[in-house]
Amino acid sequence: NGQDTLLDPNDWYELNIFNNIIVNNVAANAAGGIYLQDAAKVNIINNTIANNDSTGTAADTFTPGNLLTSNPQPAGIVAIAHSQNLSGTTGQNYSNPVLRDNCRGSGKQGKEIP
């Protein structure tokens, strides 16, 4: 039924992002570089991740009823809350990747995972 897999982190799929150059990208919402949601087991190792920007121009970045000013969005490496299905089952609320040996620079919105 899959419940045993959800409860045992050793059985989760693993996302490995190794040895990449992720630079000069743009997103209308968040990230531009790496965007993590419902990714419970992530390794980001030996990458260059720099100058990735968020323009904050996607429809959901605007407050309803105000089409003149959008809300700032994070750029670079972004991890957001897991869906209720994943967080409720695993107890993990957001993607918390292993970050090692990366060269990181901020984008124009400049909010990254430390």
In a domain, 109, yes or no: no
What separation in angstroms does the CA of 92 have from each of 6, 28, 85, 96, 98?
A: 11, 27, 11, 9, 14
Domain membership flag for residue 78:
yes
Task: Give me the domain span that covers residue 57.
Answer: 3-104
Q: What pTM did the predictor assign?
A: 0.81
The predicted-structure confidence for 63-109, as pLDDT tens digits, reads as follows 999 989 999 999 899 999 998 888 887 788 999 999 999 998 765 55
Output the pLDDT for position 89. Answer: 78
What does the pLDDT read at residue 87? Answer: 83
**Which is nearest to 78 in space by CA: 69, 42, 88?**
42
Domain-embedded: residue 110: no
Q: Is residue 113 part of a domain?
A: no
What's the domain count of the chain? Answer: 1
Digit-coded pLDDT (tens) for 28-42 = 999 889 999 989 899
DSSP character for 58? S
